[in-house]
Amino acid sequence: MKLSPEVKVGFLVILFALGFAFLILTFGEIPFLKPSVKTYKVYFDNVAGLSKGAEVRVAGIKSGKVRYVELEGGRVKVVFELDKNIVLYRDAQAEIGTLGLMGDKYLNIYPGSPSAGVLEEGGLIVKSLGYADTDRLVKEMTNASESIRLMVENFGLILSENREDIRRVVQNLEALTQNLNLMATENREAIKSAINNINLLAYNLNRTLPKTVESIDRLAQNLDRLVVENREDIRHVVANLRQISQELKETFPAMVKNLSNLSENLNAVVVENRQDLRNTTANLSELIKRLKESSERLNNILAQIERGEGTLGKLVKDEELYRNIASGVKTFSKAGEVAEKTNLYIGFSGELYRGGDSKGILTVKLQPDREKYYLLELVGDSRGRVYKEELLPNQWVVKKEFKPEITLQYARVFPFLDDKSLVLRGGLKESTGGVGMDFVYSDRLVFTSDLWDFGRKDRPQDKDLKPNLQVGINYRVRGPLYVRFGGDDLLNAKLRGFFGGAGLMFTDNDLKYLLGGLRLPLP
């Protein structure tokens, strides 16, 4: 049976992926791509879960890994390796950090000052700063919860010891409720008018409440940051609350007795001043009547505007203004038709390069028709921009700068031979000028090439570098899933290497299907 070209390419991709996976699973890493490293050691009293293979970061930059962790003389010995070109000094410091709130542990190194002298390979970092901040936070929260539990127990004890006084307060409140009920029966009409006014107030609050809620939300966020920044002060507050609860236990009986006397006096005042309360209700009814008259005057003003009287009425009834608004609506309608015909592609992918470097790419592709499209990519490159910085006279250190890179290109499509096509691209490629050419063999198989970074400012320590030439193959395995592999930096023998990766590319129809499955309120 004769195999089609697509099947042959598929077999080739599978064999390449299986071989690459076999090397990784067998050796842990590809030996000929492993960069040169050097080792150091440091001692801790407690490593808080740090294990072999954990990341090592120098001043926050991923620069190596932990080789092994073992006990030695009652302390924990940590041996780690760093890239060959990273320099540590004798006053370097080490600490154990956490990725996120509950993430993995990593070893963070502060390289120190050049004035202290260079730390030789295999040397010992003397100063260690202890374990991760997250563990200390959990311990502090446990102490705070215990203090709150003791405070609740004290409140329960106070209530049980003063049950009889609280019963008398409840009886007085029942008598007060009966008197208030009688007063409400006698003034039912006035109360009904007051309720109508409250409904009007609720309507106005309903219009203004969203802005108020938004302000409260911002206030809550600020309070959250304030709590995090003042954790130590909060612990002191909890201790003070414990002391207050103890003092309240001693003074609460007298306070309950005073509250009982207050309720009795309030009940007597209501009985003695019933006529005054009636007069207040009558005044409230008169106020409501005046508000009704003001509402009628406002209705008359709105009626004049509707008839076109006055300056505001003429503005509302102006025919020329209506025609201008209608013209604007037609313009927006035409823009909507263009957006309806445009195809949208959104995808993300990851690529692995020599030396363990990698790229993460977010892709957005807009194709208004079959002859052209616009390509936008956000690229995160672990290699970063390499540059030199002079710390002291004739003393240089190599550093890396990590920031997102942008690809923004215009592509022209030239179809030929039925379903095949040639694509020419130009514009920005990873924040530098670049061009590209793609050969679309089928909807599953695409051959790509890119040439960019003509100035080569990413590696100032290497002179006379040629532009970056990358040639690759994209193969769509199934649905939105595709794989990609090829050669990178082919014009420079020193940096030449291979890359491989995988990704997902969704069309607008795919996104609508996925979002529909999530039951989101789409328009």
Say if strands 420-429 and 358-369 run parallel, antiparallel, or are unpaired.
unpaired
Averaged pLDDT for residues 164-179: 84
Q: What is the CA radius of gyration of the chain?
A: 37
Tokens of 515: 């979002």
DSSP 89: B
Closest C-alpha to 46, from 24, 66, 11, 74: 74
Question: What's residue 340's pLDDT?
Answer: 61
How confident is the model over 484-494, as pLDDT tens digits?
Answer: 999 998 888 88
Q: pTM for this structure?
A: 0.38
Question: Using CB atoms within 10 A of its CB, is residue 450 exposed (0-12), middle (13-18) or buried (19+)?
Answer: buried
The pLDDT-based confidence of 243 (bands split at 50, 70, 90) is confident
Mean pLDDT value across the chain: 79
The pLDDT-based confidence of 520 (bands split at 50, 70, 90) is very low
**Greatest pairwise CA separation for the chain in angstroms:** 109
- Higher pLDDT: 341 or 434? It is 434
Give residue 404's identity as a one-letter amino acid code. Answer: P
**Per-residue H/E/C for 316-354:** HCCHHHHHHHHHHHHHHHHHHHHHHHCEEEEEEEEEECH
Averaged pLDDT for residues 462-485: 88
Q: Report d(CA 299, CA 306) in Å as an integer.
A: 11
- Higher pLDDT: 243 or 335? It is 243
Q: 79 in the Ramachandran plot: left (φ > 0), alpha (ψ -120 to 50) or beta?
A: beta
Question: Using CB atoms within 10 A of its CB, is residue 140 exposed (0-12), middle (13-18) or buried (19+)?
Answer: middle
